[in-house]
Amino acid sequence: MTAGLVRPVPPLAKPRATKLPSVGERVLDNGLRVLAVRRPGVPLAELRLRIPFAGPSGRKSRGHTAQAQLLSDTMLSGTTGRTAAQLAADVQALGGQLAASSDADRLGLAGSVLVSGLPGLLELLGEVLTGATYPKREVVGERDRLVQELAIYRSEASVVAREELLRRLYGEHPYGRELPTADEVEAVKASQLRALHASRVAPAGAVLTVVGDLTPARAIGLVERALAGWTASASALVAPPLPDTVRGPAVLIDRPGAVQTTLRLAGPAPGRTDPDSAAFALANLVFGGYFSSRWVANIREDKGYTYSPHSQVEHPAAGSRVTVAADVSTPTTAAALLETTYELGRIATTAVSQAELDQARRYAVGSLALGTSTQAGLASTLSSLAASGLGVEWLRDYPRQLAAVTVDDALEAGARYLAPHRLTTVLVGDVEQVEEPVGRLVELERG
């Protein structure tokens, strides 16, 4: 381990030209929008179906969250033609997998399959969409299981912190409570799920993305054949506008004896179609959005306070948010918050260097290429873009937007979205050890 000769770092070769995927698109007679891309490589196909599924605001939103969660948990628990186990065996026999999930904006069905099994998987998908039966026994069983799983989930400090953060950011808006309580889950009946399915699981407004080793025309033809019989109609709700965030004191939730404090700061961020989007993405990367960022260099690689700090952006339909997250050792909590506030303050008040900006820009462009380099990655990306009203052109246009961002733009975006006073702070940790030192830095209340 003696230092050897310093050698010159080789230059990059000329980048290969990339081609935008060619997307076939058709809106079926039933209103379902289908996007399809041929991506050879492995003989598989990927499916992503998104159905708008936002709930109502206010008190009614609580029941909806529980029902939507259980609906996705039991959607594959039986159809008019098959039991849960039969359906699972038939999906498996195609070399396939199929799973349902829900969040505050949408119900999602995601699948992948040997391409030879795609017609079969689409047929089974059609059977689920038009004939899921929500058998009482399965609903009761999954209800009990969900209660257990929520308890397990909520035993994690990161989940406790996230729930508090969302409550503080969004209040009574549906985004303020993304997980149901045990009571809300226990109140759900099979008949409610059938009614919810009948009123909301409809093709109009839904988007199905298919990426795989087959032509778009063939993929769309298969979808049309299998899903033409899905004719339910529904009025799609979208999430209501977000309330103005009222930023209160930092919140400290006690986790007695915790060896780490779960530190989170969050606030609004620009959406994908916002003119600030590219500049913000780069400011966030330079601050703490990737390993080669200032914040990681500071609190991990210099001071060793934490293992995996990261600043991440999410894009729910009604408004994006940025979350700054680090789990820091208990004795370093106040010092870690101090450095975090310092780095946020720095990105919001002083210009980044051109080199930092260029490096973040290349990373952002590279990540996009990497994220769309597999069938599964491309399918998920296109599906998620469609939810923001964006098409495949975004994969070409966004790098151009990134290329145009200047140092001044990044400073402006940092000032607008990452200034520490704009963010809501939550800490989950051992009150006895961290309350007093953290209280020297910020106004603190117990959560």
Partner 1 sequence: MVAVAVYYDVGMRSEPEGRTGFAHLFEHLMFQGSASLGKTEHFTYVQGNGGTLNGSTHVDYTNYYEVMPSSATELALFLEADRMRSVAVTQENLDNQIAVVQNEIRVNVLNRPYGGFPWLMVPPVLFDEFANSHNGYGDFVDLESSTVEDAREFFARYYAPGNAVLTVAGDIDPAEVLGWVEQHFGDIPARAVPDRPSFVEPMPTAERRATAYDALVPTPAVAMAWRTPDPADLPTYLPFVVLAEVLTDGDASRLQERMLLEDRSATSIGGYLGLLGDPLDARDPTPFLLEVHHPDSTSLDAVVSTVDEELARLAQDGLLPAELDRTVARMTARYLREVDSVLGRATTMSVFEQQRGRAELVNELPDLLRQVTAEQVQAAAATLTPDTRALLELRPGTPA
Stretch 136-175 residues interacting with partner 1 (CB under 8 A): 138, 141, 144-145, 148-149, 151-152, 155-157
Nearer to partner 1, 258 or 317 (CB): 258
Residue 308 sits in the site that holds partner 1 (CB under 8 A): yes
CB under 8 A: which stretch of 186-194, 199-207, 304-312, 416-424 binds partner 1? Answer: 304-312
Q: Does 43 bind partner 1 (CB under 8 A)?
A: yes
Going by C-alpha positions, the residue among 294, 303, 309 that lies closest to residue 342 is 294
The answer to whether residue 94 forms part of the interface with partner 1 (CB under 8 A) is yes
Residue selected from 20, 89, 195, 403 as contacting partner 1 according to rule CB under 8 A: 89
Least spacing, CB of residue 88 vs partner 1, in Å = 4
Nearer residue to partner 1 within complex by CB, 101 or 329: 329
Report if residue 42 touches partner 1, rule: CB under 8 A.
yes
Are 104 and 319 in contact by the 8 Å Cβ rule? The answer is no
232 vs 407, beta carbon nearer partner 1: 407
Q: Which of residues 374-413 bind partner 1 (CB under 8 A)?
A: 374-377
- Kindly state the smallest distance separating residue 355's Cβ from partner 1, in Å: 9
Q: Does 238 bind partner 1 (CB under 8 A)?
A: no
Q: How many residues does the chain have?
A: 447
Question: By CB under 8 A, which span of 93-101, 164-172, 179-187, 418-426 interacts with partner 1?
Answer: 93-101
Q: Enumerate residues 182-221 that contact partner 1 by CB under 8 A.
A: none
Smallest distance, partner 1 to C-beta of residue 362, A: 5
Nearer Cβ to partner 1, position 26 or 310? 310
Is 53 among the residues that bind partner 1 (CB under 8 A)?
no
Q: What is the 3-state secondary structure (H, E, C) of the chain?
A: CCCCCCCCCCCCCCCCCCCCCCEEEEECCCCCEEEEEECCCCCEEEEEEEEECCCCCCCHHHHHHHHHHHHHHHCCCEECCCEHHHHHHHHHHCCEEEEEEECCCEEEEEEEEEHHHHHHHHHHHHHHHHHECCCHHHHHHHHHHHHHHHHHHHCCHHHHHHHHHHHHHHCCCHHHCCCCCHHHHHCCCHHHHHHHHHHHCCCCCCEEEEEECCCHHHHHHHHHHHHCCCCCCCCCCCCCCCCCCCCCCEEEEECCCCCEEEEEEEEEECCCCCCCHHHHHHHHHHHHHCCCCHHHHHHHHHCCCECCCEEEEECCCCCEEEEEEEEEEHHHHHHHHHHHHHHHHHHHHCCCCHHHHHHHHHHHHHHHHHHCCCHHHHHHHHHHHHHCCCCCCHHHHHHHHHHHCCHHHHHHHHHHHCCHHHCEEEEEECHHHHHHHHHCCCCEEEC
Binder to partner 1 among 188, 286, 328, 382 (CB under 8 A)? 328
6 near partner 1, judged by CB under 8 A: yes
| Smaller CB separation from partner 1, 113 or 242 | 113
Q: List the interface residues with partner 1, window 406-445 (CB under 8 A).
A: none
From the CB of 143, what's the least distance to partner 1, in Å? 10
Which of 275/307 has CB closer to partner 1?
A: 307
Applying CB under 8 A, which of residues 27, 29, 58, 93 lies at the interface with partner 1?
Answer: 93
Q: By CB under 8 A, name the one of 72, 102, 245, 260 that touches partner 1.
A: 260
Query: Which of 21, 31, 95, 268 is in the footprint of partner 1 by CB under 8 A?
Result: 95
